[in-house]
Amino acid sequence: MLKYCQLVIFVLIIMATQVKKKHIPKGVRLGWTPLKDVQPVKLTPELVKGERVAADRPGEQNSSNTKNSYLIP
């Protein structure tokens, strides 16, 4: 009983002395824009420039497993 109480007290002391890590929000870590600074962006042809996705992706398209798992052929 005494040893149990000693163990509990020991654990409580350890928990109290642990330095709590400050949680940094994801938006701050990743450098996102503050909501108050958000502005609309005018669409231009330079912005709307697309890339065709290649059908013959290496290791993917020719794999029978990949073809079988397609939801839409």
Partner 1 sequence: MTFDYPGYPLKFVQKKPCRDNSAHLFTLIYKFYSPVTRYHYVLNADYYEENVFALKFYAKKDRRSDYKYSKLTNKGDVGNILITCLKVIPLILMDYPNVSFGFVGSRTIDKASRTVEDFKNNQRFRVYRKIVEKKVGFHIFEHFTYEFISGYLLINKHGQQSIENRLKAIIKMFADTYQDLPGL
**Binding footprint of partner 1 on the chain (CB under 8 A):** 25-28, 30, 32-36, 38-43, 45, 47-53, 55, 57, 60-61, 66-67, 69-73
Least separation in angstroms between CB 71 and partner 1? 4
Give yes or no for a contact between 47 and 41, defined as CB atoms under 8 angstroms apart.
yes
Q: How far is residue 47 from each of residues 32, 33, 39, measured CA to CA in Å?
A: 20, 19, 16
DSSP 70: -
Residue closer to partner 1, measured from CB, 17 or 45: 45
CB of 38 to partner 1, least distance (A): 4
